[in-house]
Amino acid sequence: KKEQVLELAGSEITADNAAVLAGRLRQLASGAIYEADGQSYQELFSEKLDRCFYLTSNTATPCLVAYYFRSDASRLLAYYQKNGVKAEIFDGSPGMIRRWNKGKIPVMLVQPASAGAGLNLQDGGHTLIWFTLPWSLEQYQQMNGRLHRQGQKKPVIIHHLLTKGTIDRHVLDSLRKKDLFQQALLEAVKRTVD
């Protein structure tokens, strides 16, 4: 974090600037980090995968799992497959949305950028697990809103998987502060208009 360099198994992983460093630290908090080619990655730990699996296995209804990095998706798919649970990556197709809403997909992995406004997933389940948080408040709110919307019959449960001592806590705190600021701004505009 301080030197923007990490040595793993004989290779050096660097971050050229603060934005790249923040991305690398988020990757690391999820348990893997991309190598210099941007495609290959090294897995460093699996505890976050274990916790995610535990939550989905102890939830009676299907779960959405929000991830950010391609490495997250491939690691999650492999972990669930190894443990005999069918997880699928959301492809945005009407057929997949129908199957989800009928409760036919026990675990659906969703990249928040692919699940924008107007997507109705509230009939398939009521639990969302954030494996990797985004920096974007809009993506965070939109993803949460896929389940928490009109027609949802159960209380929506949102879990945040945070790796202790990593950037995870900072990202969640940043999202909460952005939300408070946005609410204050909207309230100020409302008062001005009234």
Domains in the chain, CATH or no CATH each: 47-160 (3.40.50.300)
Q: What is the per-residue pLDDT across 111-120, written as a single tens digit (0 to 9) for each?
A: 999 887 678 8
pLDDT score for 194? 66
Residue 125 has, within 13 A of its CA and on its CB side, a CA count of: 23
Q: What is the per-residue pLDDT across 156-193, written as a single tens digit (0 to 9) for each?
A: 999 999 999 999 999 998 898 886 666 666 666 666 76
Contacts of 68 (CB under 8 A, 6+ apart): 26, 30, 111, 112, 131, 132, 133, 134
C-alpha distances out from residue 127 to 22, 40, 157, Å: 28, 31, 5
Q: What is the per-residue pLDDT across 13-46, written as a single tens digit (0 to 9) for each?
A: 666 777 778 888 899 999 998 887 778 898 989 9
pLDDT at 49 over 90: yes
